[in-house]
Chain A
Amino acid sequence: MDPSRGTAERGDLEIQEDPGYQRLFWKIQRAGWVAMALVVAAALAGMFGGGPLSRASLEDTQASWRLEYERFGRYESVQPLRLDVHPGNSRQTSVWLDRGYLADVRIDHIMPDPVREELSSDGILYVFEWRPGERPGRITLSVTFERIGLVKGRIGRTPSFTQAFSQFVYP
């Protein structure tokens, strides 16, 4: 027997064995399997973005628009912000996003294209126009997260009537 090398003799087999450690390790291993299963279940439920737990919506007080967004996102992955607008009789509608949010994300793509973008010190106003007689559809902004952690934004039709929303971005 040679304790300095950690080997012991079992019968005539010289081997480094530690049954106490092994039993403990197997328990930890089983717990690890449970943890993995929970991670998969949480992902399916939307905890990491893209599922029932992650979907959220915001409506403005006059119900003239409604935002659908995800509570959870992942770094450098693309997610849509979907706006359903009801501009009433007007042929124009606008969407304002604050600078803080725009600094944390990259807008890859806006469908339909806005007719113009107005920059101000605290945000950007996107203006959309519809042809007479056409019903406005859905505005989709494809957003790529460029920051990890809690990303907060404000959105509204004008800079004065905004609502806050936040998204947690996983690395």
Chain B
Amino acid sequence: MDPVMRAAAVYAVLLCVFRIAGRRTLAQMTNFDFILLLIISEAVQNAMIGNDYSLTNGALVVVTLVGLDIFLSIVKQWVPALEKWLDGLPTILVDNGRLLNERMSRARVSEDDILQAAREKQGLRRMDQVKYAVLEINGGISIVPKP
């Protein structure tokens, strides 16, 4: 398999696996998740480079990966509907002070996670000070406090 196909295949596999893994997998950087990211990069290195240590091979892999990234970003502009499948959409978890429990369990976000985000981002002390909590595309939780 030549370098372009290897790189494209690895990119596609990683894209699918991380979409399936969900937003919280990417956002929460506990020690375990950090180790996971490091190990994954090692795991795919050989698959992308193969036995070929030439400069050309390395350059082709980089060009393919960056090219795919650019291509997808252009495609997302042409076909806006594709954006939500590739990147996801934000999800409101607390609506006007009311916890949306079913969504929280689906998104695997606990009340403690929301309280942590409230403390970190807004310095809030209690849940009833939170007006909106939104799980963003990158897995972070943003908080809109009550006035």
Contacts and interface: CB of A to CB of B under 8 A. Distances in A.
Interface in A55-88: 75-76
Contacts of B134: 13, 15
Interface residues of B, number: 25
A32 B84 contact: no
Contact of B51 (A15, A21, A76): A76
Nearest to B46: A76
B68 interface: no
Contacts of B88: 25
Interface stretch (B32-40, B69-77, B90-98, B121-129): B90-98
Nearest to A32: B20
A84 to B, nearest CB: 32
Given A29-B20, A33-B20, A148-B1, A22 B144 contact: no
A36 interface: yes
Main SS at interface, chain B: mixed
Contacts of B132: 11, 13
A29 B22 contact: yes
B50 interface: yes
Contacts of B84: 18, 21
Contacts of B19: 29, 32
A22 to B, nearest CB: 6
A18 B89 contact: yes
Contacts of A148: 1
Contacts of A21: 84, 89
Nearest to B6: A171
Given A6-B80, A76-B50, A13 B1 contact: no
A104 B20 CA distance: 36
B20 A22 contact: no
A17 interface: yes
Contacts of A33: 20
A25 B80 CA distance: 16
Contacts of B96: 11
A171 B50 CA distance: 11
A75 to B, nearest CB: 7
Interface string B18-37: 01101000000000000000
Interface in B88-115: 88-92, 95-96, 103, 106-107
A17 B144 contact: no
Given A26-B106, A32-B20, A36-B20, A13 B92 contact: yes
B103 to A, nearest CB: 8
Contacts of A18: 84, 89
B82 to A, nearest CB: 12
Contacts of A10: 92, 95
A15 B20 contact: no
Given A36-B20, A75-B1, A76-B51, 17 more contacts: A10-B92, A11-B95, A11-B96, A13-B132, A15-B92, A17-B89, A17-B91, A17-B92, A18-B84, A25-B88, A26-B106, A29-B20, A32-B20, A33-B20, A35-B20, A148-B1, A171-B9
